[in-house]
Amino acid sequence: MTLVVRARRVLLPDGERAAAVHTGGGVVTAVTGFDDAPPGVVTLGDDEVLLPGLVDSHVHVNEPGRTEWEGFATATRAAAAGGITTIVDMPLNSVPATTTPEALRVKREVAAGQVAVDVAFWGGAVPGNVDQLRPLHEAGVVGFKCFLLDSGVPEFPPLDDAGLRAALVELASFDGLLIAHSEDEAVIAAAPEPAGGSYPAFLASRPPAAEETAIGRLVAATRDTGARSHVVHLADGDALPLLRAARASGVRVTVETCPHYLTFAAEDVPDRDTAFKCCPPIREAAHREALWGALRAGDVDPPVIDMVVSDHSPCTPELKRLDVGDFGLAWGGIAGLQVALPAVWTGARARGIGLAEVVGWMSAAPARLAGLPGKGAIAVGKDADLVVFAPEERFTVGRLEHRNPVTPYAGRELTGVVRRTWLRGQEADGSPLGRLLNRGDR
């Protein structure tokens, strides 16, 4: 199948310009001038921009085992509707967790034939599975997720310092990647217990020091072993100096944050509204602004945060405990996969940040992290994953493609609408066009 799309605004690796993007066999075959296009070309409107498909490297699909929380069919339909053409599935909260090659096989079998976008997979690093890391790597996972405190599900226990270092030593032997939920168990144990409907009380139960202490442990272990590590869902702006210093000294650590940390602020979270509960928590506006600043290079310093990904972590409405509004009882996780791009673009636009930077954070950078060289840009040889985006159109968040309706974005006005998505040159209309990817796939 051949497809040619042209627009006055196309985001290319070397900048934005008018162009025609030619595709065939599922890949980009040429990028030419706007007028160099055959009959039947799809021409975008003057209010539209052609983007590369986004890559979301932090999605909890929860299938098999907890499919009532989400599932591959609904997660990938939501992704396609939001301009995300590749997701990377987390090794939890599915049952079994993806901590052995056999569990990966089971997950792939379940996903096959029902994904509307391309899907790759993280493996898990848990106590006692060091001998499974290389086989999982050879089976195609993009890297390994660990927790440095209780994960909330019994089948995915955390690594202590010895376990963390053992995993990193093994991963360093084949240059594998460890991504870590970085909050410290001891710091949280010493904080007030979360209970009731007060958001400030919940926030106090997960203090910034929990992130800083755990990140310090991760950085030290990464430095000592020479391995690669990655901090997931950074919420704490006070951890940025530690990360900046580590990176400047040559420690191979990368960092992500999430749309909800860039959009919301603790001061604005209503009491009892447990749709906002996540871990680490949405912190005060000062932290939000520090995260925005760390995504951009300064006059001297490079960016500290490399990418923005959703950490889509839904559950059933019952588990959110909206009936009692108790932050101590509610499941912690934000559902926001479909609105990730407009949420980030709304905040970026208000701060004078251009669309090219946003797309870099949400497409090229996560594609690099996950080792997916066919993704992340509109360029010859890359997959023909294309998105039509109207950057000035506003909308109010209503019904989404997620399986469950609970999201803190409900009723919020955002700017930027995804009007059309192609996956490898085919219309991504929610039908099962997606492939299951291995690390390194082109």
Q: Which of 36, 33, 31, 39 is nearest to 12 (CA)?
A: 31
Report pLDDT digits (tens) over 21-30.
999 999 999 9
In the predicted structure, residue 415 carries a pLDDT above the cut 80 = yes
Secondary structure of 228-252 in HEC code, one letter for each residue: EEEECCCCCHHHHHHHHHHHHCCCC
SS3 state at 85: strand
Average pLDDT estimate for 228-241:
98
- Is 29 part of any domain? no
Report pLDDT digits (tens) over 308-346.
999 999 999 999 999 999 999 999 999 999 999 999 999
Q: Return mean pLDDT, the chain.
A: 97
CB 359 within 8 A of CB 54: yes
Query: pLDDT at position 301, please?
Result: 79
Report pLDDT digits (tens) over 169-191.
999 999 999 999 999 999 999 99
| Structural domain count, the chain | 1
The answer to whether the predicted template modeling score (pTM) of the entire model surpasses 0.75 is yes
Q: How far apart are CA 373 and CA 381, in angstroms?
A: 10
Q: What is the DSSP string of 166-205?
A: HHHHHHHTTT-EEEEE---HHHHHHSPPP-SS-HHHHHHH
Domain harbouring 258, CATH code: 3.20.20.140
Question: How many Cα atoms within 13 Å fall on the side-chain side of residue 205?
Answer: 19
Q: How far apart are CA 185 and CA 205, in angstroms?
A: 11
Q: Pick left, alpha or beta for residue 6 (phi over 0 → left; psi -120 to 50 → alpha; otherwise beta).
A: beta
- Is 239 part of any domain? yes
Q: What is the distance, to the nearest Å, from the Cα of residue 170 to the centroid of all Cα atoms in its chain? A: 25
Give the residue numbers spanning the domain of 142. Answer: 53-374+394-412
What is the pLDDT confidence band of residue 361, given thresholds at 50, 70 and 90? Answer: very high
- Is 438 part of any domain? no
- Is 37 part of any domain? no
In the predicted structure, residue 372 carries a pLDDT above the cut 80 = yes
Q: How far apart are CA 272 and CA 148, in angstroms?
A: 28
Query: pLDDT at position 300, please?
Result: 65
Range 119-155 burial, b when 16+ CB lie within 10 A, else e:
bbbbbbbbeebeebbeebbebbbbbbbbbbbebeeeb
Average pLDDT estimate for 56-84:
98
- Cβ atoms within 10 A of the Cβ of 173, count? 13
Locate 55 and state its tokens.
């890559």
Radius of gyration of the chain measured on its C-alpha atoms: 21
What is the pLDDT confidence band of residue 299, given thresholds at 50, 70 and 90? Answer: low
Report pLDDT digits (tens) over 248-264.
999 999 999 999 999 99
| Residue that is written with structure tokens 């009380």 in the block | 201
